[in-house]
A and B are shown apart, each in its own frame.
Chain A
């Protein structure tokens, strides 16, 4: 008969192994796409046929792909800017003010990502074509702000929750008007989350294909181009684009994390003050 501890230990190892497989399942398609993007064989199958960079060469000389990349960048930057600004406004309102219908306001702000993209696409297409915007780049931009705004709002709201309520009051107390307080206190406090929200919303826009496919008309973005390739036949170009986009997204995210990581390092330094002679460090002081 096995002891309880022994059983726990085995359970633990089983859990770790299982978790490993889960991560394998999640990462396998990403890894496979990376590997096949360098595989000489047109068809993605084993055994591998040898190393080539032809697919990358072919992809990035394809005028349609180049155009799509330019368009995606042109859309995602204003989308990120607008969603971050609007997301900040919404997050701050939720943080600072009490008003009637506040929960409805929150619902309206946060709901879009839960609506299936196909339905959003159809709704946007029919609505925007009524005001003669469907088929324009504007249509993609507008829809992507709707989808990305909630992500920005959520991230900035989380940061605001960490703000000592007395911080704004202190600013008013020092004769800063509410507008000056917003500019000199609240925005600097949220800086890292604003940068992170900008990067994440840019990534959301760069990755969104379904709504863009409905409303973009001939103005294909990168993921829409990928969808068109996918509708065609087997195409290693998809792997090349996928790998390129993945690498740049991860780079962006790493930069974003670096921003918040820097904040963490600063805070860690604050926990062990350089001048302990001054006396006890209070947790009550400014543990932000």
Chain B
């Protein structure tokens, strides 16, 4: 109908203007200030490449980049592997009622502060913490877990596991049961069915889940700081340090843009991997 275009503006404009003004513009502004300079702790409009030059020429930046990449990739792999058996179990071996209840429990962590959970993990992972106390009962001596990459990974998994399990379970539950029965009927055993039928069908949800884990871990600063010990720093740590000490917002903006580019490229690659080869 011709009059729909007039009717949609009052509804379309408020959210559109809001997100343009307070979401897109701030992100674009980051790009702009990456060319500005800081004079006497004050931001001055400028057109200089020295922030880019300063950050990209330092080996500490690139080691932080590599460290963040490795941690995020590790988090994606570990989270995906850890949640897959549980997702299979929830998707195929329980009633729909139980599955809904379980999915509800998976949502619970979204309502607890991530900070509080990370603080709680400190109590588990500390040298004289709960895990080591339990290990000493079976005669294993104290393992260093806090302030290591292992600590960071525990934090990332805490952050991403509920979401990834949710995505995987929903993906697996959508698989047509007849296909699985057909595989059994054609003499594929449970293990072969898993690898030759279920995994290919579940690929989109597996990849999307892994992507979520990657994105969450890539941007998180809490786990690497309070469970990983903050050294070597991740890119998020770098942004915080650069911003909070010395007011070097333009340099922090450079890091932020590199992070966004990395995430966009990774997401595109993941979406291609998940859906690309269908046709």
Contacts and interface: CB of A to CB of B under 8 A. Distances in A.
19 contacts: A7-B190, A15-B88, A16-B93, A19-B89, A26-B158, A27-B105, A29-B121, A33-B116, A93-B15, A109-B15, A116-B219, A116-B220, A126-B33, A145-B18, A153-B15, A226-B119, A230-B118, A238-B116, A253-B111
A32 B124 contact: yes
Contacts of B14: 85-86, 89
A15 B26 contact: no
A44 B129 CA distance: 8
B102 A19 contact: yes
Interface of A: 4, 7-8, 11-12, 14-16, 18-19, 22-23, 25-30, 32-33, 36, 44-46, 85-87, 89-90, 92-93, 96-97, 99, 105, 108-109, 111-112, 114-120, 122-128, 130, 142-143, 145-146, 149, 153, 178, 203, 207, 209-210, 214, 223, 226-227, 230, 238-239, 241-242, 245-246, 249-250, 253
Contact of B120 (A29, A120, A209): A29
A119 B239 contact: yes
A25 B259 CA distance: 30
A255 B24 CA distance: 34
A22 B82 contact: yes
Given A122-B256, A242-B113, A108 B82 contact: no
B137 to A, nearest CB: 10
A114 B126 CA distance: 31
Contacts of B47: none
A269 to B, nearest CB: 19
Interface stretch (B4-12, B52-60, B139-147, B199-207): B4-12
A242 B119 contact: yes
B53 to A, nearest CB: 20
Contacts of A7: 190
Contacts, number: 234
B231 interface: no
Contacts of B165: 22
B15 A87 contact: yes
Overall SS of chain A's interface: helix
B243 A127 contact: no
A29 B20 contact: no
A126 B26 contact: yes
Contacts of A97: 4, 8, 12
A111 B25 CA distance: 14
A89 B12 contact: yes
A178 B7 contact: yes
A107 to B, nearest CB: 10
A253 B5 CA distance: 38
B119 A230 contact: yes
A45 B19 CA distance: 46
Contacts of A26: 105-106, 108-109, 158, 161-162
Overall SS of chain B's interface: helix
Nearest to B221: A118
Contact of A32 (B29, B130, B161, B236): B130
Query: Interface centre among B23, B123, B256, by most A CB within 10 Å?
Result: B23
Interface of B: 4-5, 7-8, 11-12, 14-16, 18-20, 22-27, 29-30, 33, 43, 82-83, 85-86, 88-90, 93-94, 102, 105-106, 108-124, 126, 128-130, 133, 157-158, 161-162, 165, 189-190, 215, 218-221, 226, 236, 239-240, 243, 249, 252-253, 256, 259-260, 263
B55 to A, nearest CB: 14
Query: Interface centre among B16, B43, B105, by most A CB within 10 Å?
Result: B16
Contacts of A36: 120, 123
Contacts of B93: 12, 15-16
A146 B27 CA distance: 12
